[in-house]
Amino acid sequence: MATHPNLPALPAFERGALASLPEQLAQWWSAQIRTRTLAAGTRLPSVRDAARRLGLSPSTVVAAYDQLQAQGLVEARAQRGYFVRESGRRGAAAQAAPLQRRAPPLDAAAMVRSMFEHRGDKAASPGIGTIPPDWLDLPLLHSALRRAIADDAAEAGSLRYGDPAGDARLRTALTHRLADLGIASHASQIVTTAGATAALDLVAQLLLTSGDSVLVDEPGWPVEFARLALMGVRCIPVPRAHDGPDRAAMRRILAKHRGPDKPRAYVTVSVLHNPTGSSITLAAAHEVLKIAEAYDLAIVEDDSYAWLASKEAPRLCALDQLQRTVYVCGFSKILTPAWRVGFLAAAPALVERAIDRKLLTTLGAPGLAERALAIALEQGAMRRHAERITQRLAAARTRTVRLAQESGFVFATPPQGLFGWVDTGVDSERLAALLHGEGWLLTPGSLFHVTPQRSTLMRVNFAVAQEARLWRVLREARERLGKPPRTAAADHPALPAPHSFGGSLSRNRA
């Protein structure tokens, strides 16, 4: 039986941190055990010895060992001390096996599940939909949360239900953010939610009922399609052009669907559209609003990528000033996907109904997270963080485009924002299936249609697609599928040059 070895490099404990000293010590020991630095059967230092060597109190060490025992990582043996447990005898928490990678994502739920399950090498996950964690600002989060906790200690809001509309300080800060985008609003017109997806769901529940029809972008966000389908709502696709939705197609659709089955709303990502990265032009935005007025159509503008875009980019809500438009945004794409805070801004009548429905479903809001976000906004930390991210993303985008083009891939739309819409020249679903077994997560274009269809297009995340080996693997896989290297002119005769991106984005090649 092993005795405890010399301790690995001692951890630096932070007094006053969000994690207590016992938690920090337990996390450190846990890392040594999970990485097998400490083998099964190893005896941990005695409580007194560990306290002396680490400069902690014996009670702190006892509390840490208790946590390790609760996690199934160690066991206490009478009169002998604490020992690392055999892996076969560890509890469920310690046994957390690596999540199994599933088959390539073929629907919205599978796609989201794959993104959660595909951990480890970020370079192998070009299909993921978020900024990589190492780009995010953990000290910013911790600092804002400490300030929020200090505020809460002075006035214990955590012990009661919060404002059903959301933290008043955050809603006020958001009015200033909206003003930067040209949207005039009052705090009473804003309702916070558990992320932007929850805001979209809340708005859909208010505007639509089972059997209704709604216009959506195509290609578009498959989670939105799936969520609306679960409500019993019919999604009618509007082809996405390089400057926004195809307005002629929108007029034809609305003229065709009159009477009881007419579409009630149009849900769109107008700025840094997912998956194409395109943004609506001012002229197109004006035309869309005229169409909406003529056909009594509500517009739900999902601005989830707002922090990655220019403040001057046209927003439908800025032109309409929240009369028939509803604005939705969140923080998962810029700050952290873990703090599920989003919001909607709308006309007062719709906001009152939103608050009523929120009361019936969630009762309140995550007060500390919302207050922390308010502090980050007030102090300018969010703005500075967003500026750093957009600069880093611009560099990643430049490198990714160069690598992709050197490998013979073509961008179907001008590379902007977080996502690139890449033409692979082969069935991208087959490409994703071929590489899945080798540990790569790709997002084929077939997913981004209301009715999945074969597509040569693929969405890549610029932030995690800037390594040469990704494009080498993609090129080799494409050739294995029978597609030789090509040039932009050969596969895109409609485009006069690789960097000219005219025409509709709805084209898909078998």
- The greatest distance separating any two alpha carbons of the chain, rounded to the nearest whole angstrom, comes to 83
Instruction: Provide the pLDDT for residue 133.
Output: 84
Confidence of residue 156 (pLDDT cuts 50, 70, 90): low
Element (H, E) at 423: strand 419-423
CATH number for the domain harbouring residue 485 = 3.90.1150.10
Most confident of 59-73, 78-92, 309-323, 358-372: 309-323
Q: Quick one: 150 and 275 in the same domain?
A: yes
User: Contacts by 9-13 with C-beta closer than 8 Å and gap 24+?
Assistant: 10/53, 10/54, 11/54, 13/54, 13/56
Q: At 181, which amino acid appears? A: L
CA angle 322/348/327 to nearest 5° reads: 35
Q: Angle of helix 21-34 relative to helix 58-70, nearest 10 degrees? A: 50
Q: Is the dihedral of CA 399, 400, 406, 412 positive or negative?
A: negative
Determine the average pLDDT of the residues in 303-318. Answer: 93
List, in order, residues 6 or more apart from 176 with CB less than 8 Å away.
377
- The CA dihedral of 244, 249, 255, 258, to the nearest 10 degrees, is -70
Cβ atoms of residues 25 and 60 within 8 Å = yes
Evaluate whether 108 touches 274 at the Cβ level (below 8 Å). Answer: no
Question: Does some domain include residue 12?
Answer: no
Dihedral angle of Cα 432, 434, 437, 438, to the nearest 10 degrees: -90
| Residue 358 shares a structural domain with residue 442 | no
Q: Is 230 helix (H, G, I), strand (E, B) or coil?
A: helix
Q: Is the per-residue pLDDT at 56 higher than 80?
A: yes
- Residues linked to residue 145 through DSSP beta bridges, in sequence order: none
364 and 429 inside one domain: no
Chain-centroid distance of CA 171 in Å reads 22
Whole-angstrom Cα distance, residue 281 to residue 32? Answer: 54
> Which of these, 396, 423, 467, lies nearest to 122 by C-alpha position?
467
Residues found in the chain: 510
Look at residue 183 in the predicted model and tell me its pLDDT: 95
Q: How far apart are CA 370 and CA 367, in angstroms?
A: 5
Q: Is residue 80, in this structure, part of any structural domain at all?
A: yes
Instruction: Say yes or no: 267 and 253 in one domain.
Output: yes
Element (H, E) at 244: strand 244-245
* Domain annotation covers residue 94: no
CATH number assigned to the domain comprising residue 51? 1.10.10.10
Regarding whether 226 and 159 lie in a shared domain, the answer is yes
Q: Is residue 77 part of a domain?
A: yes
Domain that holds residue 411: 108-128+384-491
Number of domains observed in the structure of the chain? 3
- Residue 235 pairs in a beta bridge with 214
Residue of 362, 390, 385 lying closest to 375 (CA atoms):
385
pLDDT tens digits, 316-355: 999 999 999 999 999 888 888 777 889 999 999 999 999 9
Percent of the chain with pLDDT over 90: 42
Q: Is residue 5 one of the residues assigned to a domain?
A: no
**Do 258 and 363 reside in the same domain of the chain?**
yes
For residues 316 and 180, membership in a common domain is answered with yes
Of residues 309, 390, 335, the one with CA closest to residue 140: 335
The residue written with tokens 């007029």 in the block is 251
DSSP 394: H
Reply yes or no on whether the pLDDT at 17 is more than 80.
no
Q: Same domain for 118 and 238?
A: no
Tell me which amino acid residue 427 is: D
Query: Residue for token digits 């819409």?
Result: 421
Q: Looking at the structure, do residues 318 and 369 belong to the same domain, yes or no?
A: yes
Tokens encoding 26: 């337990």
In tens, the pLDDT along 171-184 reads 999 999 999 999 99
Contact 381, 374 (CB under 8 A): no
Domain co-membership, 266 together with 233 = yes
Kindly report the backbone phi and psi dihedral angles of residue 189, in degrees, each rounded to the nearest multiple of 5, phi listed first: -95, 5
Tens of pLDDT, residue by residue over 103-122, are 555 555 555 555 555 444 45
Report the Cα 130 to chain-centroid distance in Å.
Answer: 4
Between residues 152 and 220, which one has the greater pLDDT? Answer: 220
pTM: 0.74
The pLDDT confidence band at residue 150, using thresholds 50, 70 and 90, is: confident
Residue 55 belongs to some domain of the structure = yes
Both tokens of 264, joined, read 């009630």
Q: Please write the tens of the pLDDT for every residue from 231-258.
A: 899 999 999 999 999 999 999 999 998 8
Residues of the chain with pLDDT > 70: what percent? 81
Q: Is residue 420 part of a domain?
A: yes
Closest alpha carbon to 375 in 184, 137, 151, 136: 151
According to DSSP, residue 179 is labeled: H
- Based on the domain organization, do 205 and 269 belong to the same domain? yes
Q: What is the DSSP letter of 119?
A: -
Average per-residue pLDDT for the chain: 82
Residue pLDDT, tens place only, 476-489: 999 988 765 444 33
Query: Do 156 and 240 have their domain in common?
Result: yes
DSSP assignment string, 472-501: HHHHHHHHHTT-----HHHH-TTSSSTT--
Helix axis angle for 468-480 and 428-436, nearest 10°, is 110
pLDDT at 104: 55
Residue 443: inside a domain, yes or no? yes
